[in-house]
Each structure stands twice: as C-alpha cells, then as structure tokens.
Amino acid sequence: MLVQPPSPAIGRASTLHLPAGAWLTVLDCLCGHFTAISRETWLERMARGRVLDMQGMAIGPQHRYQEGLRIRYFREVADEVVIPFVESVLYADEHLVVADKPHFLPVTPAGEYVEETLLARLSRRFDNPNLVPLHRIDRLTAGLVLFSSNPKSRSRYQGLFLQRQISKRYEAIAPALPAVNFPQVRSTRLAASEPFFLMREVAGTPNSETRIEVCERQGEYWRYALYPITGKKHQLRLHMAALGAGICNDPFYPQLTEQAVDDYARPLKLLAQSLTFADPLSGAERHFESQLSLSW
C-alpha cells in the first residue's frame, strides 16, 4: 500500500542517500547521521508514514540498512524561527525563476528550517509544487539562486551546471593579502571534515578550483571577486581562508566558533553577485545581477 505524503504545510520531502556505515537498520542510520534528532522522534515519524522509500512505501523501524539507499523524509520543526529578511524575484517565466536570497535564509529545508526556506517561500508565492533549485548557495551567503519551474525543461537547465556552461561571480570582503599575487587561482582537493558540516583541504588530485581577483582595496580589508569553476560545498569560504583571508563574519573558517543564534548584525560578507549563460532552450544570452550589495 502506498503511503500518501503529508500535506505541504509540514514542508516538502527531503531526499537522503544513506551513507556508508555499520548500521543494521535505516532507523539506526538516521539516528547516527542526524545526531540532533532523537530516536523517539524518528520512531514517531515512521509511525505516521513520514519516512518513505522512493516508491512511496513507508519505511519502518526494522527496515534493513543499505548503503546508498535513497529515502524521502518529511521534516517538521516545532516553533520554527522566522527569518526576518525578504527575498526578491528578479525574473520569472514558464521555465525559470531567478531569486535574490537574503543572508541567513536557507535555500532548501535543513536543520531547524522547513518553511523558512527560499524554496518553501517561492513555492507558496508561485503556487508551484514543481519548483526546484538548480543549484545551492550556503544559508549564510546572500545572492542569486536559479529555480526550475517546469519539469519538462528541467534537465536542459541542470545540464548548464553539470557541463559547467554557466559563469558565476561572487563578491567577498576579507582581510587584505598584499603578499599574494592576483589574479590567483586556488585549485585543491576538498573533503569532508569534522564536525560533519565542515570541509577541509587534503592532499590529492584537485577537485575544486576558484579564480580570485581584487576589485577594491580599503585599508586592512579588500573586496574580492570570486569565480568558482567547480561547485564544492563551502569552496569559496575555504579557499579564501586557506589563502589567509577568511571571509569576514564567517563562523566556520578558518576557525569554527560557537554561535548559539544568528547575529543578524554580522552577516557573512559573501554574495552570489551574477550569473551568465546561454539559454539552452532559446540560445539567448542570459545575465542576472543581484540587487544586494556587501557593505564595509
């Protein structure tokens, strides 16, 4: 019997590919992977049919663990914090939505956020459950995010990112690096670190590349233009920190800082500033620029 997903009011489904591990059941894996969520909470969700396989079948407490198994789960957060910043829509047609995301707002459900995400807000605004982000930027990063609004053309736009046919420009404010020659290309291998949400540079064949330029100098801080060739998690933040210029107000790099709540007065000084690509449907040149800016 197929279990119907809960209503959209509790958030869209998230998908997880079960990671490698020695767990016996899917329940054990979920508890080990999401350490902030209690076993009792997962049991309660399973009892209400809110953990499913990709065919829509309910997964129970005894379901055998299998590495790589794809599952869908519907997240719920009690007393979800309201993000007091509003996104703007720069462009929308039958295929694309281009949004300007404020700092602190997640793109998709994560952690304690379900409804307070850019995806949920735009899905409600356009009354479109088929809206899907074509790429992601960090919750603490502001700027441009592209969404597919039409499943029929989605793969064409996803191909822009897979084939690296889209040019992305970011801006960052960080400490000056007078001893470094610019433009600078940072090409390193990034891997998962501890805690699980951090990344680190490791020895080996590079899997990340960023071109870095200086576009403005103001004493001990400079404004940098960052051009990511690849799109690894935290790539820009880590590459800047590795050069010796961690982006201003970054709570993760170069050193993890304890931060119980967001400090809205100190946003991460990183902005997804522009996107340029040839439209895969029309061939027309597309160029979008964020209306946001980074203050000194």
Share of the chain above pLDDT 70, in %: 94
- The CATH architecture one would assign to domain 168-270 is 2-Layer Sandwich (3.30)
Q: How far is CA 172 from CA 145, 241, 268, in A?
A: 17, 12, 9
- Give the tens place of pLDDT for each residue, 57-91: 899 999 999 999 999 887 666 678 889 999 999 99
CATH 3.90.1170.50 for domain 88-165:
no
Per-residue buried b or exposed e for 84-122, using 16+ beta carbons within 10 Å of the residue's own CB:
eeebeeeebeebbbbbbbbbbbbbbbeeebbbbbbbbbb
Q: Which helix (H) or strand (E) holds 41?
A: helix 39-47
Q: What is the pLDDT of residue 11?
A: 53
Q: What is the pLDDT of residue 7?
A: 39
Q: How far is CA 159 from CA 17, 42, 79, 217, 280, in A?
A: 21, 35, 38, 37, 9
| 229: number of Cβ within 10 Å | 15
The Cα–Cα gap between 16 and 53 comes to 10
Q: What is the pLDDT of residue 77?
A: 67
CA 211 to chain centre: 21
The Cα–Cα gap between 46 and 111 comes to 19
**Is the model's pLDDT at 286 over the cut of 60?**
yes
- The CATH architecture one would assign to domain 8-74 is Roll (3.10)
DSSP, res 58: B
Q: What is the dihedral of CA 233, 237, 172, 168, to 10 degrees?
A: -30
Q: What rounded mean pLDDT belongs to the chain?
A: 91
Helix (H, G, I), strand (E, B) or coil at 245: coil
Evaluate whether 12 touches 119 at the Cβ level (below 8 Å).
yes
Going by their DSSP bridges, the two strands 270-278 and 142-148 should be labelled as parallel
**Is the model's pLDDT at 260 over the cut of 80?**
no
Per domain, the residue ranges of the chain are 8-74, 88-165, 168-270
Q: What is the pLDDT of residue 2?
A: 38
Q: What is the dihedral of CA 274, 279, 284, 289, to 10 degrees?
A: -10
Helix (H, G, I), strand (E, B) or coil at 238: helix
Evaluate whether 181 touches 243 at the Cβ level (below 8 Å).
no
In angstroms and rounded to an integer, the radius of gyration of the C-alpha atoms of the chain is 20
- Identical fold at 88-165 and 168-270? yes
The Cα–Cα gap between 293 and 51 comes to 40
Count how many Cα atoms sit within 13 Å of the Cα of residue 203 in the half-sphere of its side chain. Answer: 0
| 256: number of Cβ within 10 Å | 14
